[in-house]
Amino acid sequence: MKNNIIILGGGQAGIYAAREIRQNDSKSNIKILGEENSLPYERPPLSKDFLLDKKKAEDLYFHSNDVIKNENIEFENISINKVDFENKKLFAKNDNVYSYDSLLISTGSENKKLTLDNNLKNDIYYLRNLEEAKKIKEIVSNKNKITIIGGGFIGLEIASSLSQLQKKVIVIEIGNQLMGRIIPKQIADLVQNTHIEHGNEIILNKQIEKITKKNDDYEILLNDNSLIETDFIIAGIGSTPTVKLFENTNLKLDNGIVTNQFCETSIKDVYAAGDVSNFYHPFYERNMRLESYQHAQNHGICAGKNIAGVKTEYTSIPWMWSDQFNLNLQLTGICDEYDEIIERGNDINNGVIYFFLKNNKIRGACGVGIIGKVGRDIRITSKLTEKETIVDKQILSDQNLKLNKLVQK
Amino acid sequence: MSEENWIEVGSTDSIEEEDLIRFDHQDKTFCVYKLTDGFYATDGICTHEAVHLEDGLVMDDEIECPMHQGIFNIKSGEALSPPACEDLKTYPVKVDNDKIFIKID
């Protein structure tokens, strides 16, 4: 049967869903509606190789225009401002109307903004998309002392890149550690040391009281009355799922769009995938929302299968990475449900990993090391987690013993 | 096929099964693998970002990049899983008197 399939959101989840639908369904119309005037592209390099000029915008596309055309996937740059789920229609700002038989929502997430009492809205920069990255790259070339508000992944990756561009960088974090939302303190402290060794200043446990503009520069007043002078401010203080369009509809929302393990929402024929979806994970037996490259890709693929009628549960073990200076940090699974922690290695040059176990099985692990040093062990850990292997703790804790001995074939 | 292009990598017992070693020659880096049915060789640097595959995971005829989990088929070099989308170059391998040789073009 030939259907009209619309994918709302032209990011990673959207394009991977589209290609997966096409693999399973050669007839249906597939149309991606994207708010950005660009084919879907990789976001991770924006804060790293793009700022460092090692990658250009054209290096970031997931697939070329030819690939997308060959698979008969339509891509339209359009902004939707109303959804009628009952009559299966989307309305665009320019009065275009799009009818669908199946809809995938992959609108992603958007940056939280600082709430400032004075009119500094346009003076604070954020980084999520290519346009913002281009702007930051252009402006920082003339700036020297840069303040980053928020010590999460994005803030620290930018801090690492700007340090490599010989900028003086200050990171202000409200919590008592960096990357506190998901990274264990032991790992965060190792990353913090590396930033300090490279000359970045890290300020923890401090809140912004006030930002004042002084000619072309700024003064940031912290809650301990200390004052920071800076000539450029970037904020990375987290994100929220992009769901405004659905707020007054029947679509069930709770920290994003609530979906089951098949990417199905509360409305028939409407699916959601990627950052915007608060999905049920059968392995962890709970709902979760993830903002990561691997998740956007795999969740998009899973949604694509389900839309094409190939009923598929989403069971991917979460995995994410961050690259800062010469470090590669990786996290797999969930590191907040455990009754035992096991440490592997104690030198960042050879990699350090913390395993989080519950009932002798790994639930998650987080590691950091010089690039290349933790990836293999973290990948094996994902497999051990997925297979619920009862692990030999001696092997886990001894870096001289290979973890692949633990994997049952 | 000229003989001088076969470069000696090392002895066959220098690699464990389902594992690899890194081999540097002139200004290039290669990975040489021992799989259940023999030896194979590929470029040593991931096609996605410049990271050495020597620290990657070898499993079921596949090498997985340690940085971003791009996966390649070791025998064909085919990029199997994003973010890798460009294939990895492969090289012929032969074993002579318990020594491994790869043919670099």
pLDDT (tens digit per residue) in A41-82: 999 999 999 999 999 999 999 888 898 999 999 999 999 999
pLDDT of residue B2: 53
DSSP line for A116-180: -SSS-GGGEE--SSHHHHHHHHHHHTT--EEEEE--SHHHHHHHHHHHHTT-EEEEE-SSSSTTT
Sorted by where each begins, the domain ranges of chain B are 3-103
The rounded distance, in Å, linking the Cα atoms of A335 and B55 is 24
Question: With contacts defined as CB-CB under 8 Å, which chain A residues touch B55?
Answer: 372-373, 375-376
Residues A356-372: what's their mean pLDDT? 94
Q: The domain at A113-235 falls in which architecture?
A: 3-Layer(bba) Sandwich (3.50)
Which has the closest alpha carbon to B20: B76, B65, B50? B65
Between the alpha carbon of residue B52 and those of residues A161, A282, A320, A394, B103, the distances in Å are 21, 35, 19, 28, 20
> Quick one: average pLDDT of A101-113?
97
In the predicted model, what is the mean pLDDT of residues A263-285?
97
CATH code for the domain defined by B3-103: 2.102.10.10
Q: What is the pLDDT of residue A341?
A: 96
> How far is Cα A200 from Cα B78, in angstroms, rounded to an integer?
41
Does this complex have an ipTM over 0.90? Answer: no
- Asked if B55 lies within 8 A of A379 by C-beta distance, the reply is no
Query: In A, which residues are within 8 Å of B57 by CB distance?
Result: 375-376, 379-380, 404
> Taking CB atoms and an 8 Å limit, are B69 and A372 in contact across chains?
no
Taking a contact as any Cβ pair under 8 Å apart, which residues of chain A between 29 and 48 contact chain B? 42
- On whether any CB of chain A is under 8 Å from the CB of B29, the answer is no
Q: Is A138 left (phi over 0), alpha (psi -120 to 50) or beta?
A: alpha
- pLDDT value of position A327: 96
Distance CA A4, CA A86 (A): 16
* Structure token digits, residue A291: 């903002």
**What average pLDDT does the segment A373-402 reach?**
93
pLDDT at B3: 59
The strand ranges marked E within B2-105 are 6-11, 19-25, 28-35, 38-43, 57-59, 62-64, 71-73, 79-81, 90-91, 93-96, 99-103
Q: How far is B76 from chain A (nearest CA, A)?
A: 21
Q: In chain A, which residues have their Cβ closer than 8 Å to the Cβ of B65?
A: 375
* Chain center to CA of A273: 13
Reference B102, options B29, B20, B26, B9; nearest CA is: B9
Q: Do B57 and A404 touch (CB under 8 A)?
A: yes
- Residues B68, A371: C-beta atoms closer than 8 Å: no
What are A312's two structure tokens? 């598929």
- Region B41-64: what's the mean pLDDT? 91
pLDDT at B4: 67
How far is residue A271's CA from residue A277's CA, in Å, rounded to a whole number?
Answer: 9
Nearby residues of B28 by Cβ (< 8 Å), 6 or more positions away: B43, B44, B104
Inspect the interface and report whether the beta carbons of A375 and B65 lie closer than 8 Å.
yes
**What's the mean per-residue pLDDT of chain A?**
95
How large is the average pLDDT for residues A371-377?
A: 90
Please give the CATH superfamily to which domain A326-406 belongs.
FAD/NAD-linked reductase, C-terminal dimerisation domain (3.30.390.30)
Whether the pLDDT of residue A15 is over 60: the answer is yes
C-beta atoms surrounding B53 within 10 Å: 29
Position A266 pLDDT exceeds 70: yes
**Mean pLDDT computed over A174-200:** 95
Percent of chain A with pLDDT over 70: 100
Report which of A379, A409, A377 is spatially closest to residue A395, judged by C-alpha positions. A377
Residue B1 has pLDDT above 60, yes or no: no
B21 neighbors B34 (Cβ within 8 angstroms): no
Q: How far apart are CA A277 and CA A254, in angstroms?
A: 9
> Out of B59, B67, B83, whose CB is closest to A328?
B67
A380/B66 Cβ within 8 A: no
Query: Is B83 within 8 Å of chain A by CB?
Result: yes
CATH 3.50.50.60, domain A4-42+62-109+240-307, yes or no = yes
Contact B56 A374 (CB under 8 A): no
pLDDT of residue A337: 87
Residue B48's pLDDT is what?
84
**B56 Cα to chain A: minimum distance (Å):** 5
Measure B95 CA to nearest chain A CA, in Å: 27
A209 pLDDT above the threshold of 80: yes
| Cα A279 from chain centre | 15
pLDDT of residue A405: 78
One DSSP character per residue, A68-89 reads HHHTTEEEEE--EEEEETTTTE
Residue B88 is given by DSSP the state P
Helix (H) or strand (E) holding A30: strand A29-34
Angle between the N-to-C axes of helices A12-24 and A293-307, in degrees from 0 to 180, rounded to the nearest 10: 30
For chain A, where do the domains classified as CATH 3.50.50.60 start and end?
4-42+62-109+240-307, 113-235
pLDDT at site A404: 81
Please state which of the ranges A131-135, A380-384, B47-51 shows the lowest mean pLDDT. Answer: B47-51
pLDDT at residue number A33: 97
Across the interface, whether the CB atoms of B57 and A373 are under 8 A apart is answered no
Are A376 and B56 within 8 A, CB to CB? yes
pLDDT, mean of residues A358-365: 95
Query: Nearest residue of B to residue A328 by CA position?
Result: B67
Contact at 8 Å (CB) between A90 and A80? yes
Question: How does DSSP assign B38-51, residue by residue?
Answer: EEEEEESB-SSSS-
Residues of B in contact with A371 (CB under 8 A): 51, 67
User: Which residues of chain B neighbour A40 with C-beta distances below 8 Å?
Assistant: none
Selected residue with higher pLDDT from A93 and A233: A233
Q: In this prediction, what percent of chain A has a pLDDT beyond 90?
A: 91
Beta-carbon contacts below 8 Å between A and B: 48
Q: Which chain B residue has its CA at the smallest distance from A351's CA?
A: B55
Whether residue A404 and residue B59 make contact (CB cut-off 8 A), yes or no, is yes
Question: From the list A49, A376, A404, which residue is nearest B66 (CB)?
Answer: A376
Kindly determine whether residue B51 and residue A372, on different chains, have CB atoms separated by under 8 Å: yes
